[in-house]
């Protein structure tokens, strides 16, 4: 059993020995990992720590304000607004890995500039075990995995990285967060990826898609909170798709395949496959059987259409999963009537929303995110 007290006793002398009197920068994303890492360091190093949150433009609705508010009695968090720089640099890019890599470079060069301005040579980040296991396995480039990939951060950005949570799994991080006195809204918060909504605007990034995704995700989070799901969010993709006759025959239902692709995991390696849609079927066991047939065909995510209309540029995917360690995950069997209720609210957000689907794929073969 993980014991937060002994964990802190173990890491504290190592951190003190390494950092000594130096100042250290902490970048908080609003997720549980980065916040816990920063608070742990603040408890150990006090004012030596400069905790900041970069508003990358890919944060959730009101995220910076909410996080600052949640932490107001714990940490003196400074929000640095870089949204315009990030969005204009990433606008128009479609490829998932290119987005992740570009985001990572921009993120760390921004941190590097802040560190230099403040004479800081260390950066703390909340990388946890699952992050680097998956990056090393080639499943995806987690934005925060640097050291394990052999990147010399001192040479590249001028700071050394400290990752106090690198050997912990999510439930251990949450236990540590509770022990450190973080509010429940943070310790029990669902994970949020560093590149944020950038990787939930699947395919080409445009400002219109990003703003719709921000609104829709807010509705999905509000509707599904407190239901015990490990992670729940929305994605937006371009709605063009075509009927795939071969897969339809195998699955015994009409299967459409979108032009946009999404990440999955097969065996231990990353795969990049199609997103497919099937009609609404009010029987999750049957849905599961159909999905098994479809995912044999290079399909990583399958969405079950909940609401649709004739026109519109975008499709919205609702994703809700149950998992212990985020390495594997099961989609949540949400009542269809509940999904339809959420779907109706989503359809009202913007006239360009053509349809809403519910992602009925587990990990593997899908990943939790789409990119
Ligand atoms: P996947 O999509 O790989 O996600 O099944 C597993 C978990 O990792 C989160 N995730 C990230 N977290 N930086 C992060 O801090 C990232 O780049 C990143 N990508 C995925 C994802 O939200 C899920 O909880």
Measured from the Cα of 143, ligand 1's closest atom is: 17
pLDDT in tens, 300-312: 999 999 999 999 9
299 DSSP β-pair partners? 274
Half-sphere exposure of 295 (CA within 13 A, CB side): 26
How far from chain centre, in Å, is Cα 61? 15
Q: Which of 54, 72, 74 is nearest to 63 (CA)?
A: 54
Measured from the Cα of 366, ligand 1's closest atom is: 5
Residue 22 has pLDDT above 80, yes or no: yes
Q: Is the backbone of residue 259 left (phi > 0), alpha (psi -120 to 50) or beta?
A: alpha
pLDDT at res. 326: 85
51 DSSP β-pair partners? 26
Dihedral sign (CA 58, 144, 299, 222): negative
In the annotated binding site for ATP, the residues are 29-35
Three-state SS annotation for the chain = CCCHHHHHHHHHHHHHHHHCCCCEEEECCCCHHHHHHHHHHHHHHHHHEEEEEEECCCCCCCHHHHHHHHCCCCCCCEEEECHHHHHHHHCCCCCHHHHHHHHHHHHHHHHHHHHHHCCCCEEECCCCHHHHHHHHCCCCCCCCCCHHHCCCHHHHHCCEEECCCCCCCHHHHHHHHHHCCCCHHHHCCCCCCCCHHHHCECCCCCHHHHHHHHHHHHHHHHHHCCCCCCEEEEEEEECCEEECHHHHHHHCCCCEEEEEEEEEEECCEEEEEEEEEECCCCCHHHHHHHHHHHCCCCEEEEEEEEEECCCCCEEEEEEEEECCCCCCEEECCCCHHHHHHHHHHHHCCCCCEEEEEEECCCECCECCCCC
Which of 141, 369, 370 for mutating ligand 1's site (highest number of atoms within 8 Å of CB)? 369
* 143 Cβ closer than 6 Å to some ligand 1 atom: yes
ipTM of the prediction: 0.98
Q: How far, in Å, is the centroid of ligand 1 from the Cα of 193?
A: 5
Kindly report the pTM of this predicted structure: 0.92
* 368 Cβ closer than 6 Å to some ligand 1 atom: yes
* 194 Cβ closer than 6 Å to some ligand 1 atom: yes
For the chain, what is the mean pLDDT? 94
| Confidence class for position 66, pLDDT limits 50, 70, 90 | very high
Q: How far, in Å, is the centroid of ligand 1 from the Cα of 142?
A: 7
Residue corresponding to tokens 């009695």? 73
Query: Is residue 15 within 8 Å of residue 26, measured between CB atoms?
Result: no
Lowest mean pLDDT among 124-133, 211-220, 321-330: 124-133
Q: Which residue has the higher pLDDT, 266 or 341?
A: 341
Question: How confident is the model over 239-248, as a mean pLDDT?
Answer: 98
CA-to-CA distance for 170 and 198, rounded, in angstroms? 23
Residue corresponding to tokens 């040579």? 121
pLDDT at res. 151: 82
* 51 Cβ closer than 6 Å to some ligand 1 atom: no
How far from chain centre, in Å, is Cα 55? 15
Question: How confident is the model over 186-197, as a mean pLDDT?
Answer: 92
Q: Which listed CATH number (3.40.50.1950, 3.40.718.10, 3.30.300.10, 1.10.3720.10) goes with 200-359?
A: 3.30.300.10
**Spans of all domains in the chain:** 4-187, 200-359
Q: How far, in Å, is the centroid of ligand 1 from the Cα of 309?
A: 32
Q: Apex CA 190: angle with CA 207 and CA 366, to 5°?
A: 75
For the 4-187 domain, the top CATH level (class) is alpha beta
Q: How far, in Å, is the centroid of ligand 1 from the Cα of 58?
A: 15
Residue 137 has pLDDT above 80, yes or no: no
Q: Considering only CA atoms, which residue is closest to atom 14 of ligand 1?
A: 193
| Confidence class for position 134, pLDDT limits 50, 70, 90 | low
Lowest mean pLDDT among 23-37, 58-72, 135-149, 321-335: 135-149
CA-to-CA distance for 370 and 16, rounded, in angstroms? 39
* 371 Cβ closer than 6 Å to some ligand 1 atom: no
* 326 Cβ closer than 6 Å to some ligand 1 atom: yes
* 142 Cβ closer than 6 Å to some ligand 1 atom: yes
pLDDT at res. 146: 74
Residue 144 has pLDDT above 90, yes or no: no
Question: How confident is the model over 166-186, as a mean pLDDT?
Answer: 94
Residue 358 has pLDDT above 70, yes or no: yes
pLDDT in tens, 31-65: 899 999 999 999 999 999 999 999 999 999 999 99
Q: How far, in Å, is the centroid of ligand 1 from the Cα of 29?
A: 13
pLDDT at res. 288: 98
* 125 Cβ closer than 6 Å to some ligand 1 atom: no
Q: Which of 352, 258, 351 is nearest to 305 (CA)?
A: 258
Which of 59, 134, 189, 326 for mutating ligand 1's site (highest number of atoms within 8 Å of CB)? 326
pLDDT in tens, 212-224: 999 999 999 999 9
Which of 130, 361, 368 for mutating ligand 1's site (highest number of atoms within 8 Å of CB)? 368
Q: How far, in Å, is the centroid of ligand 1 from the Cα of 351?
A: 30
Which of 133, 142, 189, 324 for mutating ligand 1's site (highest number of atoms within 8 Å of CB)? 142
């Amino acid at each position: 059993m993980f014991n937060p007290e002994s964990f802190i006793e173990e890491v504290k002398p190592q951190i003190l020995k390494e950092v000594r009197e130096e100042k250290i920068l902490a970048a908080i994303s609003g997720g549980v990992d980065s916040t816990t890492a920063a608070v742990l360091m603040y408890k150990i190093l006090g004012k030596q720590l400069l905790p900041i949150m970069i508003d990358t433009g890919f944060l959730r609705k009101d995220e910076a304000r909410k996080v600052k508010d949640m932490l107001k009695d714990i940490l003196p968090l400074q929000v640095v607004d870089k949204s315009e720089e990030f969005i204009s640099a990433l606008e128009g890019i479609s490829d998932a890995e290119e987005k992740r890599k570009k985001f990572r470079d921009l993120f760390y060069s921004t941190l590097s500039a802040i560190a230099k301005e403040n004479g800081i040579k260390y950066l703390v980040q909340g990388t946890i075990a699952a992050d680097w296991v998956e990056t090393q396995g080639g499943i995806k480039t987690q934005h925060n995995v640097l050291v394990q990939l052999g990147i010399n951060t001192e040479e590249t950005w001028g700071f050394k990285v400290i990752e106090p949570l690198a050997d912990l799994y999510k439930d251990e991080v949450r236990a540590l967060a509770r022990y450190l006195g973080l509010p429940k809204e943070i310790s029990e918060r669902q994970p949020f990826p560093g590149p944020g909504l950038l990787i939930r605007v699947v395919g080409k990034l445009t400002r219109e898609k990003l703003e719709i995704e921000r609104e829709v995700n807010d509705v999905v989070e509000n509707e599904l909170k407190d239901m015990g799901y490990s992670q729940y969010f929305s994605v937006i993709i371009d709605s063009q798709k075509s009927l795939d006759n071969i897969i339809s025959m195998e699955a015994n239902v009409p299967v459409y395949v979108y032009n946009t692709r999404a990440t999955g995991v097969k065996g231990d390696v990353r795969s990049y496959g199609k997103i497919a849609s099937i009609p609404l079927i009010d029987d999750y066991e049957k849905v599961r059987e159909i999905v098994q047939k479809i995912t044999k065909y290079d399909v990583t995510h399958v969405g079950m259409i909940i609401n649709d209309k004739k026109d519109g540029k975008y499709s919205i995917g609702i994703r809700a999963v149950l998992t212990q360690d985020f390495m594997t995950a099961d989609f949540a069997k949400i009542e269809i009537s509940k999904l339809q209720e959420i779907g109706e609210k989503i359809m009202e957000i913007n006239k360009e929303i053509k349809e809403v689907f519910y992602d009925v794929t587990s990990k593997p073969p899908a990943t939790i995110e789409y990119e």
